[in-house]
Amino acid sequence: MNVLNFVNAFFSDSAHWHGYDGIPQRFWEHVQYSLLALAVAAAIGLPVGLLTGHTGRGGNALALIANAARALPSFGLLVLAVLLIGFGLLPVMIPLVVLAVPPILVTTYEAVRSVDPSPVDAARGMGMRESRILFQVELPVALPLVLSGLRSAAIQIVSTATIAAYVSLGGLGRYIVDGLYQRDYEKVVGGATLVAVLALLTLAVFWAAGRLAVSPGVRRR
Amino acid sequence: MIRIDSVTKRYPDGTVAVDRLSLEIPDRSITVLVGPSGCGKTTTLRMINRMVEPTEGSILLDGEDIQRRPVTALRRSMGYVIQNAGLFQHRTIVDNIATVPRMLGWGKQRARERAAELMQRVGLDTSLARRYPYQLSGGQQQRVGVARALAADPPVLLMDEPFSAVDPVVRKGLQDELLRIQEELGKTIVFVTHDIDEAIKLGTMVAVLREGGRLAQYAPPAELLSAPADGFVEDFLGADRGIRRLSFFDSAALELTTDSVVPADATADRIAAAPDPYLLVTDADGRPLGWAERDGQAGGDLAAERLLPYGRPFVPGADSLRVALDCAVLSPTGWAVAVDDGGRVTGVVSQQTIGEAIRAAHTERAAHTERSAHTGSRTHPRKDEAGVAE
Ligand SMILES: Nc1ncnc2c1ncn2[C@@H]1O[C@H](COP(=O)(O)OP(=O)(O)OP(=O)(O)O)[C@@H](O)[C@H]1O
Ligand SMILES: [Mg+2]
């Protein structure tokens, strides 16, 4: 049996489509973990990235912290978090957020830094306040890059959120963990396929967001 | 009036960009800051809207120290135009222009109407209103930059090399447009350039700065050309300042002659009576047709002859002596053709006559400069001016 047969068998089994261990339920759980982790990471990464990018200060410190965070293994962090605070959603969120903050932070910082300085100079010269310069001059132009930082963070979260299953939570990781344990490779492949589908969906959402939110003057189309 | 009062700017790294500079910038005129790269022009300009704070000295706007004004209010009362226009890529042209009115709390509709009005004023077709900056040429973007700076009708306009990134033809168009707008609006404009020709063309007053941010000379352009304060200013003005100075002399006083201007159907007697070896032949309306040799003409139908081209005519009064001289130099006969607004010949004038007029004008101007030097002019007329005047 090859992988495609596994996939086919997994999805055509009607027992996989309902109940607390059904695909819709697990999919939804996975989406929820991912959204929550992304929201928390964005709430940390975006403001810090925007502010340091605007002032141009703290860039080196930022790169240092981001690289250090990237070096941390997610699974190790999960184990550590569980040891420290026990089971639950929080220990899962910690590695996911630590994973997602660096790409958001660094890309946002770079995005704002790389905005053409002359419109900023013109805006300041016409008496625009700094907050307005950041949000109405720099951010609209930096937006495609900022979105790409969020997108890569989201993709990493979606694929890594499978670790939730190791601490008895749900999500698509359930199929992979349980499948491996039960030597049910149909389940493993099915779960992995679902994660890939969710990743593709994430890409589509970000593509649409880019179309809607980025000005045609910046997209140049 | 903007008064720059012995202002010094020392950057944190120790660079002295501006050194005890004092300037009085008159209202409703264009004051140009010109000088080689790095001489502190931009720094000076940016101290006026407090983008740069002076280390020493003060700047007064209508008698009040600009330090006393809130910085945003100060900047909103001064339009600011920079080299590459600095347009907002994500906003349409009309919204770019409406930026300051919107910041001042105008309604969207009113701000857009104002923007459309300004597009016309700076010579932009209103069909461009919904476009984005990347869809405009460099020259058009620069016009948008000017329109945006004018949008809230600020009394002061600060311009930092606004036309230096466009090609010479477009630049000339933008310069002419600025002069026209200035004619209509009468703003107090401070204009930075490193191009001395631009300075002379646009400036009511020109401040020449030298390396280290020191003022070399502050004078009207004509005076700059006739009496450069020192060797630095003279070098900066370039080799042909004598010729360029003629731009400031009117051609109205030129003595024209009509003795050699004849209609195409002139009689042989009329031709024989002409004093010069060449005749300017005109049509029935008095418009020039070309030059004919006087000798050997039978008369009757000069238009049938092979005529020499009459070149470019000049309009006495409207054109300068420089244009008149240029016409004479380019003319195959050495005579310049003068026409009225309607293109009808009013007379011709020889290179020699123009040369005499130039000498006379210089003598008169020198005497005038001599007088104004005693009444507090900042310039120091050079001693050895013999090559140009007298
Ligand atoms: N932020 C700064 N920090 C340190 N030195 C500066 C700074 N800005 C300008 N300078 C220096 O001050 C001097 C004057 O600079 P400024 O930009 O005013 O010159 P400029 O006349 O406008 O030159 P250009 O024609 O090249 O634009 C230069 O030597 C420049 O290197
Ligand atoms: Mg400059």
Q: Which atom of ligand 1 is nearest to the CA of B161?
A: 27
Note the pLDDT tens digit of each residue in A31-82: 999 999 999 999 999 999 999 999 988 888 888 888 888 888 888 888 898 8
Read off the pTM.
Answer: 0.84
pLDDT beyond 50 at B382: no
Q: Which of B27, B104, B82, B38 is nearest to B60 (CA)?
A: B27
**Ligand 1 in contact with B15 (CB < 6 A)?**
yes
Residue in the block written with tokens 């240092």: A64
Residues of chain A with pLDDT under 70: 1
Structure confidence at residue B389 (pLDDT): 33
What lies within 8 Å, CB to CB, of B227 at 6+ separation is B219, B369, B379, B380, B381, B382, B385
Contact B133/A at CB under 8 A: yes
Q: Nearest by CB to B134, from A120, A123, A220: name it.
A: A220
Q: Over the stretch B132-167, which tens digit does the pLDDT of each residue have? A: 999 999 999 999 999 999 999 999 999 999 999 889
Q: Considering only CA atoms, give the Rg of chain B.
A: 26
A19 in a domain, yes or no?
A: no
Q: How many domains does chain A have?
A: 1
B289 or B387, which is more confident?
A: B289
- What is the structure's pLDDT at B199? 95
In this prediction, residue B370 carries a pLDDT of 60
C-alpha B160 – ligand 2 centre gap (Å)? 7
Assess if residue A85 is contained within a domain.
yes
Q: Where are the alpha helices (DSSP H) in A56-116?
A: 59-71, 74-85, 90-113
* B19 alpha carbon – ligand 1 mean position (Å): 13
Q: What is the pLDDT of residues B248-270, one digit of tens each?
A: 888 888 999 999 899 988 888 88
pLDDT of residue A74: 87
Quickly state the pLDDT bin for B29 (edges 50, 70, 90).
very high
User: A141: nearest CA in chain B?
Assistant: B90
**pLDDT at residue number B35:** 95
Is A98 a member of any domain?
A: yes
Q: Is B42 in the pocket of ligand 1 (CB under 6 A)?
A: yes
Burial class (CB in 10 A: 0-12, 13-18, 19+), A63: middle
ipTM of this complex prediction, to 2 decimal places: 0.89
Per-residue model confidence (pLDDT) at position B378: 37
Burial class (CB in 10 A: 0-12, 13-18, 19+), B206: buried
In a domain, A157, yes or no: yes
For the stretch B59-77, pLDDT in tens is: 999 999 999 999 999 999 9
The domain that holds A133 is classified in CATH as: 1.10.3720.10
- Average predicted confidence (pLDDT) for chain B: 89
Question: Is A97 inside any structural domain?
Answer: yes
Cβ-Cβ contacts under 8 Å between A and B: the total is: 81
In chain B, the percentage of residues whose pLDDT exceeds 90 is 71
Long-range Cβ pairs for the range B66-73 (8 Å, 24+): B71/A127, B72/A127, B72/A128, B72/A129, B73/A127
Q: Is residue A15 part of a domain?
A: no
d(Cα B169, Cα B190) in Å, to the nearest integer?
Answer: 23
Q: Ligand 2 centroid to B234 CA: how many Å?
A: 22
Structural element, H or E, at residue B4: strand B2-10
More confident residue, B325 or B300: B325
* Across B282-292, average pLDDT: 91
| CA of residue B11 to ligand 1 center, whole Å | 9
Q: Identify which has the larger pLDDT, A59 or B80.
A: B80
Residue B369: per-residue pLDDT? 61
Q: How confident is the model at residue B371 (pLDDT cuts 50, 70, 90)?
A: low
Check CB contact under 8 Å for A137 and B74: no
> Is the beta carbon of B37 within 6 A of some atom in ligand 1?
yes
Residue A18, in any domain of the structure? no
Q: Please indicate if any CB of chain A lies within 8 Å of the CB of B51.
A: yes
> Rounded to a whole number, what is the distance in Å from the CA of A200 to chain B's nearest CA?
29
DSSP state letter for B378: S
| Residue at A86 is within a domain | yes
**Close Cβ partners of B118 (under 8 Å, ≥ 6 residues apart):** B97, B147, B150, B151
Phi, psi of B193 (to 5 degrees): -155, 160
- In contact, A125 and B74? CB cutoff 8 Å: no
Determine the distance separating the centroid of ligand 2 and the alpha carbon of B86, expressed in angstroms: 15
- Centroid of ligand 2 to alpha carbon of A133 (angstroms): 23
**If residue B205 lies in a helix (H) or strand (E), which one and from where to where?**
strand B205-210
**What chain A residue is nearest to B151 in terms of C-alpha separation?**
A126
Residue B52 CB–ligand 1 contact under 6 Å: no
Per-residue confidence (pLDDT) for residue B269, from 0 to 100: 85
Question: To test the ligand 1 pocket, which listed residue (B7, B16, B21, B41) has its Cβ within 8 A of the most ligand atoms?
Answer: B41
State yes or no: pLDDT of B375 exceeds 50.
no
Q: Is B39 in the pocket of ligand 1 (CB under 6 A)?
A: yes
Interface mutation vs chain B, best among A114, A120, A126, most B CBs within 10 Å: A126
Q: Which of A10-14, B191-195, B226-230, B361-365 bottoms out in mean pLDDT, i.e. has the lowest? A: B361-365
B138 lines ligand 1 (CB under 6 A): no
Give the integer Cα–Cα distance in Å for B145 and B96. Answer: 8
The answer, for B132 touching chain A at a CB cutoff of 8 Å, is yes
Report residue A185 as tokens.
């490779």
- pLDDT in the model for residue B274: 86
Residues from chain A contacting residue B72 (CB–CB below 8 Å)? 127-129
Which residues span the domain enclosing A157?
Answer: 2-10+24-219
Judged by CB atoms closer than 8 Å, whether chains meet at B86 and A118 is answered as yes
Which member of B72, B76, B90 has the closest CB to residue A215? B90
Picking from B51, B90, B134, the nearest residue to A124 by CB comes out as B51
